[in-house]
Amino acid sequence: MLSKTQIISFYIQYLKSTVCPRTNPYLSLQIRPISSLKVVWRKDLKLDEAIQNDKKYKLCARVVKEVLNEPGHVIPLRYLEKRRERLRLNVKVKTFIDKNPGLFDTYYDRIRPKSDLVPFLRPSIRLRNFLEEEQRIYAENEPLIVSKLCKLLMMSKNKVLSVDKLVHVKREFGFPNDFLVNLVPKHSNYFRLTGFPREGKSFLELVEWNPEFAKSVIEWTAEEEYRLTGIRVRPNFHYNLPRGFLLRKEMREWVRDWLEMDYISPYEDVSHLHQASREMEKRTVGVFHELLSISLLKRVPVPILGKFTEDYRFSNAFSSVFTRHSGIFYMSLKGGIETAMLREAYKDGQLIDRDPLLVIKDKFVELLEEGWWEREEQLKLQRKEAKKDMEMTAMRNQCLDEQG
C-alpha cells in the first residue's frame, strides 16, 4: 500500500501532466512561483554617482528646511547644534555656515528677556529671493502638481491616501510645503480632505476621475511614437541591461515571455488578479515605473515606496522586483539606503528625463555654488595676504641678520 506522502506526490505529478496551466493558472503559480526567479544584484557605478553628487545639495536643503520650520524663520545657533544628529550633519553648525555662505545671516539676540545675547540664524537676502522664485515656479507648474497628486490617488486601490504619507513624500514628487493648505482647497473638483486632522487620521480622497491623468508614461510614449511615425506600437517597458550584465538562460526566457504579455496600466482595477500571478507582476512593475517616472529625480528610496504597500497592492517582498527586472530598474545601496532608480531616465549617470519642477533645484544649487565661489575667492585672498606677510617678515629678518 502507498504511503500518504507517496499518494500526494503521485497526485501532483498527475496534475502537472494532465492539467494545462492556462486552464488553471493558480496551479501553474504553485509549481513555479515568481519568487523562485533570482537575479544577482550588480553595482552600477554611474548611477551610484548620480546619488552621490546630490548628497551635498540635499544636506543644505535639510538645514534650510529646519530653519524655515521655526517661528519667524529664525533659530538660535545652539538649538540647531543640538539637532545635528537628526539632520545627519557631521560638522558643527558654525562650520557648516562658514562652508556654505549665502544661506543664512548671523545676528545676536536674547532667547529670553534679560538673558545673554547669543547668535541666531535667519535666511539671507539671497535665500529669501530664492524662496520667492520657488513660489513663482510652483505657481507656474500647478497643473503638473495637480496631475501628479491625482495620479497617486488614482493608482491606489481605494482612490484615497493618508495625508501623513503624502506629506512624507512631497519632496520626492515636487509638492510644495503648503499643498494641503493652499493647493488642495483650490481644486475641490479633484480632492476632498476627510477624517480627523487633529488626531492625525486625515486622508485625501479623489473626487473626479480624469481620463487624461489615467494614461501612464508608457502609454503616452506609445501614442507619441504613433503620432510621429504613423506606426502603432504596443505599450511596453523599455528593457536595457547595462553592459556586461548577463542573465541565466532560464531568467532570459522568463523575461522574454513576460515582456510579450499585454501591458497592464497602473490605473486599471486589478482586484481580480492573484497576488503571485505574472499579470500582477506586470502591473506591479507598471506602478513602480509610473511612480518613478512622475518623481522629481526618477528615483525614490525603497523604504518610502514601502509605506504604500497596502495602498498599491504590493507584496511584502516587493523590493525584489527591482533586481528581478534589472533592465528596467536599478536599486542603489549608496549611503546605506536602498534607492529604486529608473534606468531609462539616465544616461552615463546623468538625468536626461528632467521634470519641470527641477528648475527649483537648479536655482538652489546656483545659490550654493555662488556662495562656494565667493568663499573660495576669499580664501585665496587670505592665502595671498598671508604669503605676502611671510615674505615681508622674511625680508625684515634678513635685513636684521645683515645688520647684525
In a domain, 156, yes or no: yes
Q: How confident is the model at residue 31 (pLDDT cuts 50, 70, 90)?
A: very low
Identify whether residues 19 and 156 lie together within a single domain. Answer: no
Write down the pLDDT at residue 26: 38
Q: What is the mean pLDDT of residues 375-396?
A: 82
- Collapse the DSSP code of 162 into the 3-class scheme (helix H, G, I; strand E, B; otherwise coil) and give the result: strand
- Decide if 191 is inside a domain: yes
Question: Among 32-41, 147-156, 272-281, which range has the highest average pLDDT?
Answer: 147-156
Asked if residue 60 belongs to a domain, the reply is no
CA distance 342 to 357: 18
Sign (positive or negative) of CA dihedral 93, 94, 96, 100:
positive
Q: Do the domain assignments include residue 46?
A: no
Q: How high is the pLDDT of residue 229? A: 86
Residue 57 lies inside a defined structural domain of this protein: no
Inside any domain, residue 63: no
Tell me the pLDDT of the chain averaged across its residues: 86
Residue 91 in domain: no
Together in a domain, 308 and 172: yes
For 104-119, write each residue's pLDDT tens digit. Answer: 999 999 988 888 999 9
With 90 as the cut, is the pLDDT of residue 205 above it?
A: yes
Domain boundary among 341, 359, 377: 359
Residues 147 and 21 in one domain: no
C-alpha cell at 130: 530664492
pLDDT above 70: percentage of residues in the chain: 89
| Number of domains the chain is built from | 2
Could you report the per-residue pLDDT of 330-374, keeping only the tens digit for each?
Answer: 999 988 899 999 999 999 889 998 999 999 999 999 999 998 898
pLDDT(183) > 60: yes
Give 156 or 392, the one with higher predicted confidence.
Answer: 156
Mean pLDDT of the region 261-273? 90
Stretch 24-41: mean pLDDT, rounded? 52
Distances (CA, A) of 396 to 135, 384, 388, 400: 59, 18, 12, 6
Confidence of residue 195 (pLDDT cuts 50, 70, 90): confident
**Burial of 288 per CB tally in 10 Å (0-12, 13-18, 19+):** buried
pLDDT band at residue 34 using 50, 70 and 90 as cut-offs: low
Task: Give the pLDDT band of residue 232 (cuts 50, 70, 90).
Answer: confident
**Does the structure show a pLDDT above 70 at 197?**
no
pLDDT, average across residues 388-398: 81
Residues 314 and 166 reside in one and the same domain: yes
Average pLDDT over residues 90-98: 92
Mean pLDDT of 176-181: 92
Q: What is the pLDDT of residue 1?
A: 42
* E strand intervals along 99-225: 104-110, 117-123, 160-162, 191-196, 201-206
Grid cell listed for 168? 512624507
Asked if 206 and 154 count as a contact pair (C-beta separation under 8 A), the reply is yes
What confidence tens digit (pLDDT) does each residue in 269-305 have?
888 888 888 889 999 999 999 999 999 999 999 999 9
pLDDT of 10 reads: 36
Residues 193 and 333 in one domain: yes
Can you tell me the distance from the alpha carbon of 253 to that of 16, in angstroms, rounded to the nearest whole number?
20
Does any domain span residue 390? no
Range of the domain at 236: 142-359
* Segment (H or E) for 341: strand 339-342
**Does the pLDDT value for residue 243 go beyond 70?**
yes
The answer to whether the CB of 164 falls within 8 A of the CB of 204 is no
